[in-house]
Structure 1
Amino acid sequence: MFNFSEKISELKSSILYVVFLAGSLLIGLTWLSIGLYNALKLWVGTPWSSFILALIMLLPVAIHLLVKAFTADQPAKANTLSSQPRPAVDPSGALLSQIMGAVAGQSTLIVTVVTLLASFIAVRFPSFLGMFAQVVTAFVDDMKLRPAAAATPRKPRRKATADVDE
């Protein structure tokens, strides 16, 4: 049986994991580069420290390019993605376009947040994308109805006998 609260709990923990991992990676790399820059400034002097730091940061890219240049191309396997049959319709693409069409008239912040969430859900949890599309469409429809509901005048409340002053 499908346990919705368990799936939402897994989704929340997965999102938190990715956010915390990216944040700690960014903070760690920042402090590493600051410390390395200060050490290089002491060892080689101010003009050369930033140049050497840039070379150190580009070292993984250079190693990757060297390995790629000197390895022989492997023959294409029969199980490549292009040889596999493709489905007739990509439901995630249709759902993403439906979501983008629904939020087209909203503010830039809402469009950005919805786009990021939809792309994350499409990659990580594609089965939840249809449900997310329905939630977004209902939210946008509700946002469109709110100004119309606020503009309609309300009937004045009848005073009860207890409300009348004697």
Structure 2
Amino acid sequence: MSLKQRLTEDMKAAMKSGEKTRLGTIRLVNAAIKQREVDERIELDDAAVVAVLDKMVKQRRDSVAQYEAAAREDLAEVERAEIAVIEHYLPAKLDEAAILAAIDAAIARVSAEGGGAIGPADMGKLMGVLKPQLAGQADMGQVSALVKRRLAG
């Protein structure tokens, strides 16, 4: 079952069981997916759906930080509840060791293709290889920091 189908089935189940928070969040996710499909005139696969979900989680984390800074814990709690529902559909997060292993593999791949040493100037190439591979499984900010650290030393 694709991720979009799973979301639709879970939306129906949430309607039947009366889970308003879950239902509202899944509707927001479906709307974001549909909007991207309409804008780009494509049918999203699971990887693209994961990217949409990842973006939604990032937006909500930013909102939580802003609400906490403004002492609006009530609004921050709503965002946290939405994050919990959305993260249910994301793949399990990788630990730092797994991310470093993926970075090492990407470095080997890029250096084999480019035929030379890898330095800080090759960060864009590495991130281009890593982003689709780690989408939804790792925070890309963390990946970027680890790539910089690996390239520096």
Q: Which has the higher contact order (CA 8 A, sep 6+)?
A: 2
Question: TM-score, with normalisation over the residues of structure 1?
Answer: 0.27
State the structure with more CA Rg: 1
Richer in helix (by share): 2
Question: TM-score, with normalisation over the residues of structure 2?
Answer: 0.29
